[in-house]
Amino acid sequence: MLKLIKNASVYAPQPLGRQDILIADEKIVRLAPDLHEYETLPDVEVLDAGGKRVAPGLIDLHVHVTGGGGEQGPASRVPEIQLSELIESGVTTVLGLLGTDGTSRSVENLLYKARALQQEGITTFMLTGSYQVPTVTLTGSVVRDIALIGECVGVKVALSDHRSSNPTFDEFVRMASDARMGGLIAGKAGLVVMHMGAGRDMLGMLLRAVDETEIPVKTFLPTHCGRNDALCDQAIAFAKRGGVFDITGSSRQTPEKSCGRHIRRALEAGVTAEHITMSSDGCGSLPRFNDKGECIGLDYSSPSVLMQELRWAVEHEGVALETMLEVLTSTPAKVLSLTGRKGRIAPGADADLVVFDDDLQVVSVLARGKTARWEGKTLMRGTFEK
């Protein structure tokens, strides 16, 4: 089955102007200003983008697909994510992981949720481990999990946070070495994704590992690096050594607190978009506290914050649309060692596409060549969604 998308203003993620996109099964096979010769062929579905912007599907590198939270007791556990929430947010590739709760949320459950989302229509990967050290794995080791489990591309750990296991430097380096070895054996990214808290050491252990070991800088991905300016400044220093850092989106953008502000600061400091990603922390808990530090309410994050942050950055921070798209598509694809397959609109790439209207709202989505959403109507839903 062929699909032909006509009249697309393509951001690949760099702007290419008006293009037609030909899709065969799950892959983009041709990209050209005019592919009208395919319109009359049998079994060709023609979709008219109407001049709207078409970009690669977003890649969300931090989603609690099995639900996060739980820090205010069992009733505060966040539900699992639904496929439609990802689709409606423009997300077509997701990296699932565990958070604070690695007890009632298991790596086994994470693996099966990743497989469920994959079966339902979007590309899904996972990390072994959680906040705790020694790392809880499926096979008994980080190396074996990455090497033997197809969906597993790395390991999760928490640093500079009162909820972490406070790993020693040697423990952290051993975990990174294991992730590197597993990645080499399996031909995968072999990532160490670090939840960064607001502790005093900030990125100290990471920067020391980069300086004192032979582990490649691309092995590490610190996340939540927009907690404060000091942490972001250390992340910028890490990027200047060749690393990539991640900033967490929020639904509450202000001039003082937004991903766009931190991204603009990084760009002004000489860091390119090839060294910055933005993720949603989807299904992570968002407790609300009063002035006494007491929890007075609960909410949880959504992948929809990615587009909210994109709009704010473009409209209020002066960041170019193509730069923000790079942060959300081609750079996370590079982090996952999927350059050429994901994060691009080009022949040979997966047919993951998102269509924006003039207000940069998601109106249509294709995931692995299937029409998941078109002109505001969601067509692809999870198995038990109504």
Give pLDDT tens digits for 57-67.
999 999 999 99
Residue 333 to residues 261, 270, 290, 336, 338, Cα–Cα distance (Å): 23, 22, 40, 5, 5
Q: How confident is the model at residue 127 (pLDDT cuts 50, 70, 90)?
A: very high
For the segment 243-262, the average pLDDT, to the nearest whole number, is 91
Residue 347 clears pLDDT 80, i.e. is over it: yes
Q: How confident is the model at residue 257 (pLDDT cuts 50, 70, 90)?
A: confident
CA angle centred on 338, ends 333 and 340, rounded to 5°? 95
d(CA 353, CA 365): 6
Tokens of 71: 């820090």
Region of 279 (left: φ > 0; alpha: ψ -120 to 50; beta: rest) is beta
Average pLDDT, the chain: 94
For the segment 142-148, the average pLDDT, to the nearest whole number, is 98
Region of 109 (left: φ > 0; alpha: ψ -120 to 50; beta: rest) is alpha
Residue 90 clears pLDDT 90, i.e. is over it: yes
* pTM (predicted TM-score): 0.96
More confident of the two residues 256 and 18:
18
Structure confidence at residue 72 (pLDDT): 75
Residue 134 to residues 64, 74, 139, 255, 321, Cα–Cα distance (Å): 21, 24, 14, 40, 42
Residue 302 to residues 28, 64, 258, Cα–Cα distance (Å): 29, 10, 15
Q: Where are the beta strands (DSSP E) in 25-80?
A: 27-32, 44-48, 53-56, 58-63
Structure confidence at residue 254 (pLDDT): 82
Structure confidence at residue 224 (pLDDT): 96
d(CA 258, CA 235): 16
Whether 291 is a known active-site residue: answer: no
Residue 260 clears pLDDT 90, i.e. is over it: yes
What sign does the dihedral 161-249-92-323 (CA atoms) show?
Answer: negative
CA dihedral of residues 87, 62, 162, 219 (deg, nearest 10):
180
Residue 318 clears pLDDT 90, i.e. is over it: yes
Residue 286 clears pLDDT 80, i.e. is over it: no
Contact 249, 259 (CB under 8 A): yes
d(CA 333, CA 330): 5
Residue 184 clears pLDDT 90, i.e. is over it: yes
Q: How confident is the model at residue 74 (pLDDT cuts 50, 70, 90)?
A: confident
Percent of the chain with pLDDT over 70: 99
Bridge-partner residues for 49, per DSSP? none
User: CB 371: neighbour CB atoms within 10 A?
Assistant: 17
Phi/psi for 237 (5° steps) reads -65, -40
Contact 206, 220 (CB under 8 A): yes
Contact 233, 263 (CB under 8 A): no
Options 20, 101, 246, 281, the catalytic residue: 281
Tell me which residue has tokens 């999927």: 338
Q: How confident is the model at residue 250 (pLDDT cuts 50, 70, 90)?
A: confident
Phi/psi for 10 (5° steps) reads -85, 130
* CA-wise closest residue to 92 among 384, 375, 370, 376: 370
For the segment 91-110, the average pLDDT, to the nearest whole number, is 93
Q: CATH for 57-335, among 3.20.20.140, 3.30.1490.20, 1.20.1250.20, 1.10.10.60?
A: 3.20.20.140
85: three-class secondary structure by DSSP: helix
In the chain, ranges of CATH 2.30.40.10 domains = 2-55+345-378
In the chain, ranges of CATH 3.20.20.140 domains = 57-335
In the chain, which residue ranges form alpha helices assigned H by DSSP?
A: 83-88, 107-120, 142-148, 169-186, 204-212, 229-240, 259-268, 305-316, 321-328, 330-335
Q: How confident is the model at residue 178 (pLDDT cuts 50, 70, 90)?
A: very high
Structure confidence at residue 70 (pLDDT): 72
**Taking the chain, what is the end-to-end CA distance rounded to the nearest angstrom?**
27
User: CB 256: neighbour CB atoms within 10 A?
Assistant: 6
Structure confidence at residue 343 (pLDDT): 98
Residue 298 clears pLDDT 90, i.e. is over it: no
92: three-class secondary structure by DSSP: strand
Q: CATH for 2-55+345-378, among 3.30.470.10, 2.30.40.10, 3.60.15.10, 3.20.20.80?
A: 2.30.40.10
Residue 289 clears pLDDT 70, i.e. is over it: no
For the segment 211-232, the average pLDDT, to the nearest whole number, is 96
Residue 20 clears pLDDT 90, i.e. is over it: yes
For the segment 300-308, the average pLDDT, to the nearest whole number, is 94
